[in-house]
């Protein structure tokens, strides 16, 4: 099978190596700063990279402000230019495509595989994010998780994996969630839970606060009560807590989107590879091949 890997973070280089090691044809573009195997020669243009490819694989996330997400490259590739270079029947794969991109790809006759729409990928991605978050909390704070007190906002995939792991390390862990059922589930796992409106009363006692909600639930009334020696960790996409406000208040904050590609790029690439293989197998089974 022929793969084109375009843009993405460190996991893209590992993915290219994994696919090539399994005997697939792999071409790359917009990965100048990635560690690629010698047997993979970077292409000089996006057209050359995607020509004849069965799968065109972007990063996670796949796009930012209408362009291909390519943090390891100086290339700037507009999504519409990439779509123009593709042929009907090719599969466009990546994480979290915008609705506009998805619709444009379907209209162009492309098959679309949004990794973030697949639970087998998102659960694994959340596990890697939670593991990376623990590493950040341990590395960036002079305090220990053991006997510490942490708040995790939300009860989505990342929060529901991270919070029990914090508790297992001896950290008193609070979860804040909008739904009463989510709070009840957290408490059933031995965690403590509160509603969003109760965070401010708890804030002054925290050693760690981890945001997983793409909304300003850690607002000014909360941030004003957090101690300067506490650590804030942002895992959510925008808008999370206000970085300018955190800086104004003298708070220690770490912004860590895309943790799997930073803390465990090999494992993150394996997860992408495994998910792609599952999609290929599902398509073959649905076609009766």
Same domain, 238 and 277: no
Beta bridge partners of 226: none
Same domain, 126 and 253: yes
What is the pLDDT at residue 38? 82
Same domain, 185 and 72: no
Same domain, 146 and 251: yes
What is the reported pTM? 0.93
Same domain, 127 and 174: yes
**Domain extent for 221:** 122-257
Same domain, 26 and 109: yes
What is the pLDDT at residue 289? 59
Same domain, 253 and 133: yes
Same domain, 69 and 127: no
When computed from its CA atoms, the radius of gyration of the chain, rounded to whole angstroms, is 21
Cα–Cα distance between 133 and 135 in angstroms, integer? Answer: 5
Cα–Cα distance between 166 and 208 in angstroms, integer? Answer: 11
Which tokens hold the place of 99? 């609705």
What is the pLDDT at residue 35? 85
Cα–Cα distance between 5 and 54 in angstroms, integer? Answer: 11
Same domain, 96 and 169: no
Same domain, 155 and 83: no
What CATH number corresponds to the domain at position 195?
A: 3.40.50.720
- Count of the separate structural domains present in the chain: 2
Residue whose entry in the numeric block shows the structure tokens 């957090």: 226
From first to last of its 289 residues, what are the pLDDT tens digits of the chain? 999 999 999 999 999 999 999 999 999 999 999 988 888 979 999 999 999 999 999 999 999 999 999 999 999 999 999 999 999 999 999 999 999 999 999 999 999 999 999 999 999 999 999 999 999 999 999 999 999 999 999 999 999 999 999 999 999 999 999 999 999 999 999 999 999 999 999 999 999 999 999 998 999 999 999 999 999 999 998 888 888 999 999 999 999 988 999 999 999 999 999 999 999 999 999 887 5
DSSP string across 22-91: TT-EEEEES-TTS---TT-PBPSSHHHHHTT-SEEE--SS-EETTEE--TT-S---BHHHHHHH--TTPE
Same domain, 79 and 147: no
Q: Edge-to-edge, what's the strand order for the sheet holding 192-194?
A: 192-194, 172-176, 149-153, 208-211, 231-234, 252-255
């Amino acid at each position: 099978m022929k793969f084109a890997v375009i843009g993405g973070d460190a996991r893209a280089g590992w993915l290219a190596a994994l696919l090539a090691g399994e005997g697939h044809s792999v071409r790359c573009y917009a990965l100048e700063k990635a560690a690629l195997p010698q047997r993979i020669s970077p292409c000089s243009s996006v057209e050359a990279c995607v020509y004849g490819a069965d799968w065109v694989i972007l990063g996670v996330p796949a796009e930012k402000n209408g362009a291909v997400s390519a943090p390891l490259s100086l290339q700037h590739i507009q999504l519409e230019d990439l779509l123009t270079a593709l042929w009907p029947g090719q599969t466009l794969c990546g994480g979290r495509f915008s609705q506009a991109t998805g619709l444009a790809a379907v209209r162009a006759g492309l098959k679309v595989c949004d990794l973030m729409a697949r639970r087998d990928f998102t659960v694994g991605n959340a596990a890697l994010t939670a593991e990376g978050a623990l590493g950040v909390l341990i590395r960036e704070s002079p305090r220990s998780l053991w006997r510490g007190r942490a708040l995790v906002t939300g009860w989505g995939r990342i929060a529901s994996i991270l919070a029990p792991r914090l508790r297992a390390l001896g950290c008193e862990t609070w979860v804040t969630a909008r739904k009463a059922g989510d709070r009840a589930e957290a408490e059933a796992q031995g965690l403590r839970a509160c509603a969003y409106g109760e965070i401010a009363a708890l804030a002054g006692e925290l050693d760690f606060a981890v945001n997983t909600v793409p909304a300003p639930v850690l607002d000014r009334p909360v941030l004003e009560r957090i101690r300067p020696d506490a650590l804030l960790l942002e895992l959510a996409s925008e808008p999370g807590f206000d970085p300018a406000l955190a800086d104004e208040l003298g708070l220690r904050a770490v912004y860590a989107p895309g943790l799997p590609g930073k803390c465990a790029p090999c494992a993150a690439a394996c997860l992408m590879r495994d998910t792609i293989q599952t999609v290929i197998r599902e398509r073959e089974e649905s076609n009766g091949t």
